[in-house]
């Protein structure tokens, strides 16, 4: 039963992510201290946040921006607006990422999810 629930949850998350990815999204790009634009690099850092505090739906700020930027880099596009708001769309993409990467699928970005996001 648990496997079936996981499969249903993952399919719903993937479908939600696909639908939400088709919606137009505003884009925010991190700016470095020198005023140049920063982008995600091979080290898995977008320039917003370099910690690993547990982050979940309802949270706001630079940690959420970092998650959104890293997911965009992993996805190869811009499915998420980098707005710093951990809402349902960000949670859906986190769930999808966790499922694809073989992590615990809970929509919460804890130490293991942070490590996996930074490894992409």
Looking at every residue in the chain, the average pLDDT score rounds to 78
Asked whether the beta carbons of 86 and 56 are under 8 A apart, the reply is yes
Confirm if 21 and 79 have CB atoms less than 8 A apart.
Answer: yes
What is the SS3 assignment for 77?
coil
Q: In the numeric block, which tokens belong to residue 42?
A: 């091979």
Token reading at 82: 């980098």
**d(Cα 56, Cα 76) in Å, to the nearest integer?**
23
Looking at residue 71, what is its pLDDT?
A: 96
d(CA 72, CA 40): 9
Radius of gyration for the chain, computed over Cα atoms and rounded to the nearest angstrom:
14
Burial class (CB in 10 A: 0-12, 13-18, 19+), 22: exposed
* pLDDT for the residue numbered 78: 83
pLDDT digits (tens, 9 = 90+) for 4-16: 555 555 555 555 5
How many other C-beta atoms lie within 10 A of the C-beta of residue 41?
A: 10
Rounded to whole angstroms, how far apart are CA atoms 14 and 18?
A: 6
Domain at 2-118, CATH class:
mainly alpha
Domain boundaries, the chain: 2-118
Q: How far is CA 33 from the centre of its chain?
A: 24
Has this prediction a pTM greater than 0.75?
A: no
Q: What is the pLDDT of residues 15-71, one digit of tens each?
A: 555 444 444 444 444 444 433 334 444 457 899 999 999 999 999 999 999 999 999
pLDDT, position 40: 42
């Amino acid at each position: 039963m648990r496997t079936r629930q996981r499969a249903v949850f993952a399919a719903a998350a993937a479908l939600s992510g696909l639908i939400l990815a088709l919606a137009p999204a505003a884009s925010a790009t991190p700016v470095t201290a020198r005023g140049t634009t920063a982008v995600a690099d091979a080290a898995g850092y977008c320039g917003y946040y370099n910690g690993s505090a547990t982050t979940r739906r309802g949270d706001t700020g630079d940690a959420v921006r970092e998650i959104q930027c890293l997911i965009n880099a992993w996805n190869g596009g811009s499915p998420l607006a980098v707005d710093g708001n951990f809402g349902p769309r960000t949670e859906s993409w986190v769930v999808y990422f966790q499922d694809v990467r073989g992590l615990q699928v809970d929509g919460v970005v804890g130490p293991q999810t942070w490590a996996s996001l930074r490894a992409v």
